[in-house]
Amino acid sequence: MFIYKVGVVGAGAMGAQIAQVVTFAGLPVVLTDVSDAVARRGVETVRAIYQGRVDRGKMTAEQREEKMLLVTAAGSLAALRDVDLVIEAAPEDLKLKQDVFRALDGVCSPGAILASNTSALSISALGVATKRPGKVLGLHFFNPAYAMPLVEVIPGLATEQQTVDDAVGFAESLRKAPIVVKECAGFLVNRLLMPYLNEAVLCLQEGASSLKAIDQDMVAFGMPMGPFTLLDTIGNDISLEVARILHRSYGPRMAPAALLEAMVKAGRLGVKSGRGFYEYGGAKDQELEGLIQKAGQAAGPRGTRWAPSRLLMAMMNEGVLALQEGVASARDIDLAMVAGTGFPSDKEGPLHYADRIGIDHVLQELEESARSLGMRFWPAPMLRRMVDAGFTGRSAGRGFFTY
């Protein structure tokens, strides 16, 4: 099925970015929210994104106005009666999203695809709220959607293959890089990214290193920004909610750091609240140091070792677990982490990086970390099988990839 017209539900930052991406590809979009006024604010966000392109000399004012003609604001889902695809971008609350999908099911044409931009919630649970679960799937764009090339395409248990194929084709028409991901909590990118971010918070909580040093070391490794800068950019409240979803599904290895919980409770949400792990309003305070000390004293060990490998091993090990479960191929796991998180392209992704440093080395370091830091580092069983078989990576000519 060709997508001729798109609806976006939720005119916040992400919904507006998705609407801009769709209009940039030349497709009309209806941007909806709880009222006309809120929807119009979303349209103004679309205009601001295009204005940025005009300011950088990437398009003319006339071209901006041509694109703006493709986006319409609406304060009711009734405006989505004739769209071929709806992308829901409401807050990360399962009941709220189910209510939206139930309403969309009653409004949209029977052939319309209903997609969610959720970053972690169950697609199957959204599908069951409708009478068309075969037409429901996840289309997870990354922030900022106009710059990030990756789109995760997530079928639910009942999603039809034709729906997946149509969604992949649609994402490609937007000049994005779609990756089909087996449904699981956190899907692929957030499932691997959250252990990396949470481990950074644990390192700070345990006094292993300073906030700035951890950020600087990870940028020196090649990441586009440090983990605390990224947490503040995402929003610590959003990161905590994703961490809780992963914890409910995967158990103790995904338990959120006590410091992350404390940050959210203290209202230190990041850039959007003016303070998080960093200050954004100019004024300095001593609250953060107190939160670090209190969380460290209450939550466990102090003075643990710091090395960038702590964060990388957490990410790589979760990547191997996802590979074992068939969530995605090794190639797609690496592509997703490079395109979705900025994992350094010269290192080609976490599984290529594991091959480079040696899977036997990865196994040894995970075993040592499990003994000294906790069972969250317990190695994925696949690693031991690979080492026993001599699949130790690039030096052996075979690992996750063949050389």
My answer on whether 132 and 108 are in the same domain is yes
3-state secondary structure the chain: CCCCCEEEECCCHHHHHHHHHHHHCCCCEEEECCCHHHHHHHHHHHHHHHHHHHHCCCCCHHHHHHHHCCEEEECCHHHHCCCCEEEECCCCCHHHHHHHHHHHHHHCCCCCEEEECCCCCCHHHHHCCCCCHHHEEEEEECCCCCCCCEEEEEECCCCCHHHHHHHHHHHHHCCCEEEECCCCCCCCHHHHHHHHHHHHHHHHHCCCCCHHHHHHHHHHHCCCCCHHHHHHHHCHHHHHHHHHHHHHHHCHHHCCCHHHHHHHHCCCCEHHHCECCCECCCCCCCHHHHHHHHHHHHHCCCCCCCCHHHHHHHHHHHHHHHHHCCCCCHHHHHHHHHHHHCCCHHHCCHHHHHHHHCHHHHHHHHHHHHHHCCHHHCCCHHHHHHHHCCCCEHHHCECCCEC
Last residue of a domain, one of 180, 203, 235: 180
My answer on whether 11 and 83 are in the same domain is yes
CATH number for 84: 3.40.50.720
Q: Which residue in the list 140, 247, 352, 361 is annotated as catalytic? A: 140
In a domain, 217, yes or no: no
Query: For position 290, what pLDDT does the model report?
Result: 92
CATH number for 338: 1.10.1040.10
pLDDT tier, 283 (very low <50, low <70, confident <90, very high otherwise): low
My answer on whether 101 and 151 are in the same domain is yes
In a domain, 326, yes or no: yes
My answer on whether 91 and 113 are in the same domain is yes
In a domain, 218, yes or no: no
Antiparallel, parallel or unpaired: β 136-141 and 150-155: antiparallel
In a domain, 70, yes or no: yes
My answer on whether 279 and 340 are in the same domain is no
My answer on whether 313 and 384 are in the same domain is yes
In a domain, 390, yes or no: yes
Mean pLDDT of 54-73: 96
My answer on whether 255 and 312 are in the same domain is no
Query: For position 300, what pLDDT does the model report?
Result: 75
Total count of domains within the chain: 3
Catalytic, 140? Answer yes
My answer on whether 208 and 347 are in the same domain is no
- pLDDT tens, residue by residue, 208-231: 999 999 999 999 999 999 999 999
What distance in Å separates the CA atoms of residue 183 and residue 153, rounded to the nearest whole number?
9
In a domain, 44, yes or no: yes
Last residue of a domain, one of 299, 332, 355: 299
**Closest CA relative to residue 21, chosen from 149, 177, 174:** 174
For residue 87, give both structure tokens: 């992308």
**What percent of the chain stands above pLDDT 90?**
93
In a domain, 284, yes or no: yes
CATH number for 201: 1.10.1040.50
My answer on whether 141 and 196 are in the same domain is no
Does residue 285 have a pLDDT over 80? no
My answer on whether 329 and 274 are in the same domain is no
pLDDT tier, 120 (very low <50, low <70, confident <90, very high otherwise): confident
User: Domain range spanning residue 263?
Assistant: 189-212+225-299
My answer on whether 60 and 145 are in the same domain is yes
My answer on whether 169 and 26 are in the same domain is yes
Q: What does pLDDT average to over the chain? A: 95
